[in-house]
A and B are shown apart, each in its own frame.
Chain A
Amino acid sequence: MSEPVTFRLLLTVLAAMLAIPAQAGPEEDREAFRAFFFKRFPDVPPDAYADGIYALDENARRQWEEIEEFPPYEFAVEQGEALFSQAFANGGRYADCFENDGIAVRQNYPRFDPQRGEVVTLELALNHCRTANGEEPYAYDSSELIALSAWMAWTSRGRKIAVSVPNDPRALAAYEEGKRFYYSKRGQLNFACSDCHVTSAGSWVRADHLSASLGHPTHFPVYRSKLGKMISLHSRIYGCIRDVRARPFPEQSVEYRNLEYFLTYMSNGLPANGPGARK
Protein backbone atom coordinates (compact mmCIF):
# COMPACT_ATOMS: atom_id res chain seq x y z
CA MET A 1 0.00 0.00 0.00
CA SER A 2 1.43 3.35 -1.01
CA GLU A 3 1.73 6.00 1.56
CA PRO A 4 -0.94 8.43 0.30
CA VAL A 5 -3.47 5.58 0.24
CA THR A 6 -2.63 4.58 3.81
CA PHE A 7 -2.95 8.20 4.84
CA ARG A 8 -6.31 8.56 3.11
CA LEU A 9 -7.53 5.35 4.73
CA LEU A 10 -6.46 6.64 8.10
CA LEU A 11 -8.32 9.88 7.47
CA THR A 12 -11.45 8.00 6.49
CA VAL A 13 -11.32 5.91 9.63
CA LEU A 14 -10.80 9.00 11.76
CA ALA A 15 -13.66 10.79 10.04
CA ALA A 16 -15.92 7.81 10.59
CA MET A 17 -15.01 7.74 14.26
CA LEU A 18 -15.76 11.43 14.60
CA ALA A 19 -19.07 11.02 12.80
CA ILE A 20 -20.34 8.68 15.51
CA PRO A 21 -21.55 11.07 18.18
CA ALA A 22 -20.89 10.04 21.75
CA GLN A 23 -24.37 11.34 22.50
CA ALA A 24 -27.11 12.12 20.00
CA GLY A 25 -27.52 15.86 19.54
CA PRO A 26 -30.83 17.72 19.65
CA GLU A 27 -31.38 17.41 15.92
CA GLU A 28 -30.85 13.63 15.90
CA ASP A 29 -33.18 13.42 18.89
CA ARG A 30 -35.84 15.42 17.09
CA GLU A 31 -35.67 13.34 13.95
CA ALA A 32 -35.93 10.10 15.91
CA PHE A 33 -38.80 11.53 17.99
CA ARG A 34 -40.80 12.49 14.90
CA ALA A 35 -40.03 9.22 13.17
CA PHE A 36 -41.30 7.26 16.16
CA PHE A 37 -44.76 8.85 16.01
CA PHE A 38 -44.95 8.85 12.21
CA LYS A 39 -44.37 5.11 12.32
CA ARG A 40 -46.81 4.54 15.18
CA PHE A 41 -49.57 6.60 13.53
CA PRO A 42 -48.97 6.35 9.78
CA ASP A 43 -52.32 7.96 8.92
CA VAL A 44 -51.72 11.13 10.93
CA PRO A 45 -50.30 13.98 8.82
CA PRO A 46 -47.20 15.50 10.47
CA ASP A 47 -48.65 18.98 11.06
CA ALA A 48 -51.73 17.49 12.74
CA TYR A 49 -49.62 16.70 15.84
CA ALA A 50 -49.89 20.39 16.69
CA ASP A 51 -53.54 19.59 17.56
CA GLY A 52 -52.48 17.32 20.41
CA ILE A 53 -54.85 14.45 21.15
CA TYR A 54 -57.19 15.62 18.38
CA ALA A 55 -54.61 14.38 15.90
CA LEU A 56 -55.24 10.84 17.17
CA ASP A 57 -58.89 10.84 18.20
CA GLU A 58 -61.47 11.40 15.47
CA ASN A 59 -64.49 11.67 17.81
CA ALA A 60 -62.82 14.08 20.18
CA ARG A 61 -61.61 16.06 17.17
CA ARG A 62 -65.16 16.65 15.95
CA GLN A 63 -66.24 17.93 19.36
CA TRP A 64 -63.17 20.12 19.50
CA GLU A 65 -63.86 21.58 16.08
CA GLU A 66 -67.31 22.57 17.31
CA ILE A 67 -65.77 24.28 20.33
CA GLU A 68 -63.33 26.07 18.05
CA GLU A 69 -66.27 27.70 16.22
CA PHE A 70 -66.73 29.93 19.28
CA PRO A 71 -63.24 29.81 20.77
CA PRO A 72 -63.30 29.99 24.56
CA TYR A 73 -59.84 31.62 24.55
CA GLU A 74 -61.00 34.60 22.50
CA PHE A 75 -61.52 36.75 25.56
CA ALA A 76 -57.98 36.06 26.76
CA VAL A 77 -56.58 37.03 23.35
CA GLU A 78 -58.48 40.33 23.44
CA GLN A 79 -57.46 41.02 27.02
CA GLY A 80 -53.86 40.20 26.12
CA GLU A 81 -53.84 42.53 23.14
CA ALA A 82 -55.16 45.37 25.29
CA LEU A 83 -52.58 44.73 28.02
CA PHE A 84 -49.79 44.39 25.48
CA SER A 85 -50.49 47.76 23.90
CA GLN A 86 -50.67 49.60 27.22
CA ALA A 87 -47.54 51.60 28.03
CA PHE A 88 -45.85 51.13 31.42
CA ALA A 89 -45.71 54.01 33.91
CA ASN A 90 -42.22 54.86 32.63
CA GLY A 91 -43.49 55.09 29.07
CA GLY A 92 -41.88 51.79 27.99
CA ARG A 93 -43.84 49.15 26.14
CA TYR A 94 -43.84 45.35 25.95
CA ALA A 95 -43.13 45.69 22.25
CA ASP A 96 -39.76 47.28 23.04
CA CYS A 97 -38.63 44.12 24.87
CA PHE A 98 -39.07 41.77 21.92
CA GLU A 99 -37.89 41.34 18.38
CA ASN A 100 -40.36 42.53 15.77
CA ASP A 101 -42.27 44.44 18.46
CA GLY A 102 -43.32 41.12 19.94
CA ILE A 103 -45.49 40.19 16.97
CA ALA A 104 -45.12 36.64 15.62
CA VAL A 105 -42.18 35.69 17.85
CA ARG A 106 -43.83 33.13 20.13
CA GLN A 107 -42.54 30.24 17.98
CA ASN A 108 -38.96 31.13 18.98
CA TYR A 109 -39.61 30.51 22.69
CA PRO A 110 -38.31 29.16 24.95
CA ARG A 111 -34.86 30.43 24.07
CA PHE A 112 -31.48 30.14 25.68
CA ASP A 113 -30.37 33.51 27.03
CA PRO A 114 -26.55 33.67 26.95
CA GLN A 115 -26.46 36.70 29.32
CA ARG A 116 -28.48 34.95 31.98
CA GLY A 117 -27.05 31.56 31.13
CA GLU A 118 -30.46 29.92 31.31
CA VAL A 119 -33.60 29.06 29.41
CA VAL A 120 -36.05 31.95 29.17
CA THR A 121 -39.67 31.12 28.42
CA LEU A 122 -42.12 33.60 26.95
CA GLU A 123 -43.75 34.12 30.34
CA LEU A 124 -40.39 34.78 31.95
CA ALA A 125 -39.44 37.21 29.16
CA LEU A 126 -42.71 39.09 29.73
CA ASN A 127 -41.98 39.41 33.44
CA HIS A 128 -38.37 40.45 32.73
CA CYS A 129 -39.80 43.14 30.51
CA ARG A 130 -42.04 44.34 33.33
CA THR A 131 -39.29 44.48 35.95
CA ALA A 132 -36.90 46.17 33.49
CA ASN A 133 -39.56 48.87 33.19
CA GLY A 134 -40.07 49.28 36.90
CA GLU A 135 -43.25 47.19 37.10
CA GLU A 136 -44.00 44.35 39.49
CA PRO A 137 -43.76 40.92 37.84
CA TYR A 138 -47.05 39.07 37.40
CA ALA A 139 -47.76 35.82 39.23
CA TYR A 140 -47.30 32.99 36.75
CA ASP A 141 -50.86 31.83 37.18
CA SER A 142 -52.31 35.34 36.86
CA SER A 143 -54.91 35.87 34.18
CA GLU A 144 -52.93 38.91 32.96
CA LEU A 145 -49.75 36.99 32.19
CA ILE A 146 -51.69 34.15 30.59
CA ALA A 147 -53.63 36.68 28.50
CA LEU A 148 -50.40 38.32 27.29
CA SER A 149 -49.07 34.88 26.39
CA ALA A 150 -52.35 34.07 24.60
CA TRP A 151 -52.11 37.25 22.54
CA MET A 152 -48.50 36.61 21.56
CA ALA A 153 -49.35 33.02 20.65
CA TRP A 154 -52.22 34.29 18.52
CA THR A 155 -49.89 36.52 16.51
CA SER A 156 -47.64 33.52 15.82
CA ARG A 157 -50.34 31.21 14.51
CA GLY A 158 -49.12 29.23 11.55
CA ARG A 159 -45.43 30.04 12.09
CA LYS A 160 -43.22 27.03 12.44
CA ILE A 161 -41.90 26.31 15.91
CA ALA A 162 -38.21 27.26 15.73
CA VAL A 163 -36.47 26.74 19.05
CA SER A 164 -32.70 26.72 18.81
CA VAL A 165 -30.03 25.15 20.96
CA PRO A 166 -27.07 27.43 20.28
CA ASN A 167 -23.51 26.18 20.28
CA ASP A 168 -23.04 26.92 23.97
CA PRO A 169 -22.34 24.12 26.45
CA ARG A 170 -24.78 25.71 28.91
CA ALA A 171 -27.58 25.61 26.34
CA LEU A 172 -26.85 22.00 25.53
CA ALA A 173 -26.73 21.18 29.24
CA ALA A 174 -30.17 22.79 29.74
CA TYR A 175 -31.52 20.78 26.83
CA GLU A 176 -30.02 17.59 28.24
CA GLU A 177 -31.52 18.31 31.66
CA GLY A 178 -34.94 18.70 30.08
CA LYS A 179 -34.45 15.47 28.20
CA ARG A 180 -33.41 13.62 31.35
CA PHE A 181 -36.45 14.98 33.20
CA TYR A 182 -38.71 13.86 30.37
CA TYR A 183 -37.48 10.28 30.34
CA SER A 184 -37.03 9.76 34.10
CA LYS A 185 -39.53 7.83 36.14
CA ARG A 186 -40.71 9.78 39.16
CA GLY A 187 -43.24 9.79 41.95
CA GLN A 188 -44.90 7.03 43.89
CA LEU A 189 -46.53 5.77 40.69
CA ASN A 190 -43.13 5.57 39.00
CA PHE A 191 -44.06 7.14 35.66
CA ALA A 192 -41.86 8.95 33.17
CA CYS A 193 -43.46 11.52 30.84
CA SER A 194 -42.41 9.19 28.04
CA ASP A 195 -44.24 6.20 29.56
CA CYS A 196 -47.61 7.76 28.77
CA HIS A 197 -46.80 10.11 25.90
CA VAL A 198 -44.36 8.02 23.87
CA THR A 199 -44.62 4.34 24.80
CA SER A 200 -48.38 4.38 25.37
CA ALA A 201 -49.40 7.36 23.24
CA GLY A 202 -52.74 6.62 21.62
CA SER A 203 -53.80 4.20 24.36
CA TRP A 204 -56.66 4.82 26.73
CA VAL A 205 -56.42 5.39 30.48
CA ARG A 206 -60.05 4.84 31.44
CA ALA A 207 -61.87 7.55 29.47
CA ASP A 208 -58.72 9.56 28.75
CA HIS A 209 -56.87 9.19 25.51
CA LEU A 210 -53.09 9.55 25.88
CA SER A 211 -51.72 12.23 23.59
CA ALA A 212 -48.41 12.16 21.73
CA SER A 213 -45.67 14.42 23.07
CA LEU A 214 -44.93 15.53 19.54
CA GLY A 215 -46.95 18.74 19.40
CA HIS A 216 -47.54 19.01 23.15
CA PRO A 217 -46.24 22.57 23.56
CA THR A 218 -47.44 24.15 20.29
CA HIS A 219 -50.85 25.38 21.44
CA PHE A 220 -50.39 26.82 24.91
CA PRO A 221 -51.84 28.60 26.80
CA VAL A 222 -55.05 26.60 26.58
CA TYR A 223 -58.60 27.08 27.78
CA ARG A 224 -59.48 23.97 29.79
CA SER A 225 -63.20 23.31 29.85
CA LYS A 226 -63.03 21.18 32.97
CA LEU A 227 -61.37 24.02 34.87
CA GLY A 228 -63.29 26.78 33.13
CA LYS A 229 -60.17 28.89 32.66
CA MET A 230 -56.97 29.46 30.70
CA ILE A 231 -53.87 27.64 31.90
CA SER A 232 -50.18 27.82 31.05
CA LEU A 233 -48.03 24.94 29.83
CA HIS A 234 -46.26 24.81 33.19
CA SER A 235 -49.53 24.56 35.03
CA ARG A 236 -50.44 21.60 32.81
CA ILE A 237 -47.08 19.95 33.52
CA TYR A 238 -47.59 20.63 37.22
CA GLY A 239 -50.83 18.64 37.04
CA CYS A 240 -49.11 15.70 35.37
CA ILE A 241 -46.32 15.57 37.93
CA ARG A 242 -48.82 15.70 40.78
CA ASP A 243 -50.85 12.92 39.18
CA VAL A 244 -47.87 10.55 39.21
CA ARG A 245 -47.66 11.43 42.93
CA ALA A 246 -44.39 13.29 42.74
CA ARG A 247 -44.00 16.66 44.42
CA PRO A 248 -44.47 19.18 41.60
CA PHE A 249 -42.06 22.02 40.95
CA PRO A 250 -43.39 25.57 40.79
CA GLU A 251 -44.24 27.15 37.46
CA GLN A 252 -41.17 28.61 35.78
CA SER A 253 -38.83 26.52 37.91
CA VAL A 254 -35.60 25.70 36.14
CA GLU A 255 -36.80 22.09 35.90
CA TYR A 256 -39.93 23.00 33.95
CA ARG A 257 -38.14 25.56 31.80
CA ASN A 258 -35.57 22.98 30.76
CA LEU A 259 -38.32 20.45 30.15
CA GLU A 260 -40.17 22.98 27.99
CA TYR A 261 -36.94 23.63 26.12
CA PHE A 262 -36.50 19.95 25.25
CA LEU A 263 -40.18 19.38 24.55
CA THR A 264 -40.54 22.41 22.30
CA TYR A 265 -37.37 21.57 20.43
CA MET A 266 -38.92 18.16 19.69
CA SER A 267 -41.85 20.02 18.09
CA ASN A 268 -39.68 22.24 15.92
CA GLY A 269 -41.16 22.53 12.46
CA LEU A 270 -44.77 22.07 13.58
CA PRO A 271 -47.08 25.05 13.24
CA ALA A 272 -47.51 27.20 16.33
CA ASN A 273 -51.27 27.19 16.97
CA GLY A 274 -51.87 28.66 20.39
CA PRO A 275 -53.92 29.51 22.22
CA GLY A 276 -55.83 26.25 22.32
CA ALA A 277 -58.96 24.69 23.75
CA ARG A 278 -58.93 21.40 25.62
CA LYS A 279 -61.27 19.29 27.73
Chain B
Amino acid sequence: MSPQRRAVLYGYVLAAGLAAVAPVRAAEPPAAPLDPGSVSERIQQAEAARRQAAGQGAEWLETGNLIESARREADQGNWEQAAALAERALRQGELAVAQARRESDAWQARVVR
Protein backbone atom coordinates (compact mmCIF):
# COMPACT_ATOMS: atom_id res chain seq x y z
CA MET B 1 0.00 0.00 0.00
CA SER B 2 1.36 3.40 -0.97
CA PRO B 3 1.77 6.15 1.61
CA GLN B 4 -1.20 8.04 0.09
CA ARG B 5 -3.41 4.98 0.32
CA ARG B 6 -2.28 4.43 3.84
CA ALA B 7 -3.19 8.01 4.60
CA VAL B 8 -6.68 7.52 3.26
CA LEU B 9 -7.07 4.30 5.16
CA TYR B 10 -6.00 5.87 8.37
CA GLY B 11 -8.23 8.82 7.65
CA TYR B 12 -11.09 6.44 7.26
CA VAL B 13 -10.32 4.48 10.37
CA LEU B 14 -9.74 7.64 12.33
CA ALA B 15 -12.81 9.45 11.18
CA ALA B 16 -14.86 6.36 11.85
CA GLY B 17 -14.94 7.61 15.35
CA LEU B 18 -11.70 6.71 17.02
CA ALA B 19 -9.35 9.43 17.91
CA ALA B 20 -6.76 7.85 20.16
CA VAL B 21 -4.90 5.51 17.83
CA ALA B 22 -1.17 5.79 17.77
CA PRO B 23 -0.26 4.94 14.14
CA VAL B 24 -2.28 7.91 12.95
CA ARG B 25 0.91 9.94 13.14
CA ALA B 26 2.24 7.97 10.21
CA ALA B 27 -0.58 9.41 8.10
CA GLU B 28 1.51 12.35 6.89
CA PRO B 29 3.12 11.03 3.72
CA PRO B 30 6.38 12.62 2.64
CA ALA B 31 5.65 14.83 -0.36
CA ALA B 32 6.85 12.94 -3.43
CA PRO B 33 9.43 14.97 -5.33
CA LEU B 34 7.96 16.05 -8.64
CA ASP B 35 10.12 16.92 -11.57
CA PRO B 36 8.74 18.12 -14.89
CA GLY B 37 10.37 15.22 -16.72
CA SER B 38 8.64 12.53 -14.69
CA VAL B 39 5.29 14.30 -14.99
CA SER B 40 5.48 14.53 -18.75
CA GLU B 41 6.59 10.92 -18.87
CA ARG B 42 3.52 10.01 -16.83
CA ILE B 43 1.31 11.93 -19.26
CA GLN B 44 2.87 10.02 -22.15
CA GLN B 45 2.21 6.73 -20.40
CA ALA B 46 -1.40 7.75 -19.85
CA GLU B 47 -1.74 8.66 -23.52
CA ALA B 48 -0.25 5.32 -24.57
CA ALA B 49 -2.70 3.43 -22.34
CA ARG B 50 -5.60 5.51 -23.69
CA ARG B 51 -4.59 4.66 -27.25
CA GLN B 52 -4.27 1.00 -26.45
CA ALA B 53 -7.79 1.03 -25.01
CA ALA B 54 -9.10 3.00 -28.00
CA GLY B 55 -7.51 0.46 -30.34
CA GLN B 56 -9.73 -2.15 -28.74
CA GLY B 57 -12.81 0.08 -28.87
CA ALA B 58 -12.77 0.25 -25.09
CA GLU B 59 -11.76 3.82 -24.27
CA TRP B 60 -13.60 5.47 -21.38
CA LEU B 61 -15.44 8.74 -21.67
CA GLU B 62 -13.26 11.14 -19.73
CA THR B 63 -9.75 9.73 -20.17
CA GLY B 64 -8.92 12.02 -23.09
CA ASN B 65 -10.13 15.06 -21.16
CA LEU B 66 -8.05 14.07 -18.14
CA ILE B 67 -4.94 13.88 -20.31
CA GLU B 68 -5.72 17.22 -21.94
CA SER B 69 -6.19 18.81 -18.52
CA ALA B 70 -2.95 17.25 -17.30
CA ARG B 71 -1.11 18.78 -20.26
CA ARG B 72 -2.67 22.17 -19.61
CA GLU B 73 -1.65 22.10 -15.96
CA ALA B 74 1.85 20.97 -16.89
CA ASP B 75 2.15 23.81 -19.40
CA GLN B 76 1.39 26.22 -16.59
CA GLY B 77 3.90 24.58 -14.29
CA ASN B 78 1.25 23.13 -11.96
CA TRP B 79 3.14 19.88 -11.59
CA GLU B 80 1.17 18.48 -8.71
CA GLN B 81 -2.21 18.87 -10.43
CA ALA B 82 -0.73 17.62 -13.70
CA ALA B 83 0.69 14.53 -12.00
CA ALA B 84 -2.59 13.74 -10.25
CA LEU B 85 -4.57 14.07 -13.49
CA ALA B 86 -2.09 11.96 -15.43
CA GLU B 87 -2.25 9.33 -12.73
CA ARG B 88 -6.04 9.14 -12.97
CA ALA B 89 -5.90 9.01 -16.76
CA LEU B 90 -3.28 6.26 -16.70
CA ARG B 91 -5.35 4.20 -14.29
CA GLN B 92 -8.42 4.65 -16.50
CA GLY B 93 -6.49 3.61 -19.58
CA GLU B 94 -5.14 0.51 -17.86
CA LEU B 95 -8.55 -0.42 -16.45
CA ALA B 96 -10.15 0.00 -19.89
CA VAL B 97 -7.54 -2.29 -21.45
CA ALA B 98 -8.11 -4.84 -18.69
CA GLN B 99 -11.85 -4.57 -19.23
CA ALA B 100 -11.45 -5.23 -22.96
CA ARG B 101 -9.24 -8.22 -22.24
CA ARG B 102 -11.80 -9.63 -19.81
CA GLU B 103 -14.67 -9.00 -22.18
CA SER B 104 -12.97 -10.70 -25.11
CA ASP B 105 -14.34 -13.92 -23.56
CA ALA B 106 -16.78 -12.81 -20.88
CA TRP B 107 -19.39 -11.41 -23.29
CA GLN B 108 -20.23 -14.87 -24.55
CA ALA B 109 -21.65 -15.89 -21.18
CA ARG B 110 -24.32 -13.17 -21.53
CA VAL B 111 -25.62 -14.23 -24.92
CA VAL B 112 -29.30 -15.15 -24.77
CA ARG B 113 -29.52 -18.82 -25.64
- Indicate if A touches B (C-beta under 8 A): yes
**Using a CB–CB distance below 8 Å, which chain A residues touch chain B?**
24, 29, 32-33, 36, 179-181, 183-188, 190, 192, 194-195, 198-199, 242, 245-249, 255
Q: Which residues of A contact B110 (CB under 8 A)?
A: 183, 192, 194-195, 198-199
Beyond A184-B103, A185-B103, whether A247 also contacts B112 by CB under 8 A is no
A246-B112 in contact given A184-B103, A185-B99 (Cβ < 8 Å): no
Nearest Cβ in chain A — how far from B47, in angstroms? 14
**A245 near B61 (CB under 8 angstroms)?**
yes
CB–CB A24/B59 < 8 A: no
A185 to B60, CA, bound (A): 12
Pairwise interchain contact A186-B63, C-beta atoms closer than 8 A:
no
Q: How far is the CA of A33 from the CA of B112 in the complex (A)?
A: 6
Task: Check if A24 sits within 8 Å of B113, measured CB to CB.
Answer: yes
User: Contacts of B60 on A, CB cut-off 8 Å?
Assistant: 187-188, 245-247
A198 near B54 (CB under 8 angstroms)? no
Partner of A188, one of B92, B106, B113: B92
What are 26 A-B pairs at a CB distance below 8 A?
A: A24-B111, A29-B112, A36-B112, A179-B111, A180-B107, A183-B107, A184-B103, A184-B106, A185-B103, A186-B58, A186-B99, A186-B103, A187-B60, A188-B62, A188-B92, A192-B107, A194-B110, A194-B112, A199-B110, A245-B60, A245-B61, A245-B62, A246-B58, A246-B61, A248-B61, A255-B57
Residues of A within 8 A of B59 (CB): 246-247
Q: Is B36 an interface residue (CB 8 A)?
A: no
Write out the residue numbers on chain B whose beta carbons fall within 8 Å of the beta carbon of A242.
Answer: 61
Across-interface contacts of B76 in A (CB, < 8 A):
none
B108 at the interface (CB under 8 A from A): yes
Q: Which residues of B contact A (CB under 8 A)?
A: 54, 57-64, 92, 95, 99, 102-103, 106-108, 110-113
Beyond contacts A181-B57, A183-B108: 15 other A-B pairs, Cβ-Cβ < 8 A, are: A24-B111, A32-B112, A184-B103, A184-B107, A185-B99, A186-B99, A186-B103, A187-B60, A188-B61, A188-B95, A192-B110, A198-B110, A199-B110, A245-B60, A246-B58
A36 CA to B113 CA in the complex, in Å?
A: 8
What 10 pairs between A and B have smallest CB-CB spacing?
Answer: A183-B107, A247-B59, A245-B61, A184-B107, A184-B103, A183-B110, A36-B112, A188-B60, A32-B112, A33-B112
Q: Which of B61, B63, B106, B108 is in CB contact (< 8 Å) with A185?
A: B106
Instruction: Give every chain B residue within 8 A of A245 (Cβ-Cβ).
Output: 60-62
Rounded to whole angstroms, the CA-CA distance of A24 and B107 in the bound complex is 14
Which residues does chain A contribute within 8 Å of B61, judged by CB atoms? 187-188, 242, 245-248
The winner among A183, A184, A255 for most chain B CB atoms within 10 A is: A184
Minimum CB distance partner of A214 in chain B: B112
Q: Once bound together, how far apart are the Cα atoms of A276 and B113, in whole Å?
A: 30
Residues of chain B contacted by A248 (CB below 8 angstroms):
61
| A32→B113 contact, CB < 8 A | yes
Contacts of B107 on A, CB cut-off 8 Å? Answer: 180, 183-185, 192
- List of B residues within 8 angstroms of A184 by Cβ: 103, 106-107
- B100 → chain A, closest Cβ, in Å? 8
- Chain A residues within an 8 Å CB radius of B106: 184-185
How far is A248 from B59 in the complex, measured between Cα atoms in Å? 9
Q: Which residues of B contact A246 (CB under 8 A)?
A: 58-61
Q: Which residues of B contact A255 (CB under 8 A)?
A: 57
Chain A proximity of B55: nearest CB distance (Å): 12
Give the distance in Å from the alpha carbon of A194 to the alpha carbon of B106 in the complex: 13
A69 to chain B, nearest CB (A): 36
Query: Which residues of B lie under 8 Å from residue A36 when comparing CB positions?
Result: 112
